[in-house]
């Protein structure tokens, strides 16, 4: 199944890849790798909240997951504020 997901991603079929990952998570809801992969795709599609939820769940399951770092980075992006951009 991983090859199918990777092929869909390579072909730019992100919605289909997310769907496959979601189906896989129904069978293995505690798989932090699947959550991390789906989170990355959700982020890429602009669903920041969905991505952060997946990163958070993955980090709770496995604190050493790369999702923990992705969650920190996502929080940093959310907290970034540059007044020069808003007030030229």
Distance CA 51, CA 35 (A): 9
Please spell the DSSP secondary structure of the chain, one letter per residue: -HHHHHHHHHTT-HHHHHHHHHHHHHH-TT-HHHHHHHHHHHHHTT-HHHHHHHHHHHHHH-TTSHHHHHHHHHHHHHH---HHHH--
The CATH fold of domain 2-86: 1.25.40
pTM of the model: 0.84
Q: What is the pLDDT of residue 87?
A: 58
Summarize pLDDT for 4-26 with one digit per residue, the tens.
999 999 999 999 999 999 999 99
Q: What is the C-alpha to C-alpha distance for residues 71 and 82, in angstroms, rounded to an integer?
A: 21
Domain ranges of the chain: 2-86
């Amino acid at each position: 199944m991983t090859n199918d997901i990777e092929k869909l991603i390579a072909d730019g079929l992100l919605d289909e890849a997310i769907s496959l990952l979601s189906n896989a998570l129904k069978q293995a809801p505690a798989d932090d790798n699947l959550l991390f992969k789906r989170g990355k795709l959700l982020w890429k599609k602009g669903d920041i909240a969905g991505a952060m939820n997946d990163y958070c769940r993955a980090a709770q399951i496995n604190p050493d997951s790369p999702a923990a770092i992705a969650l920190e980075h996502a929080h940093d992006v959310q907290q970034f504020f540059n007044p020069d951009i808003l007030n030229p």
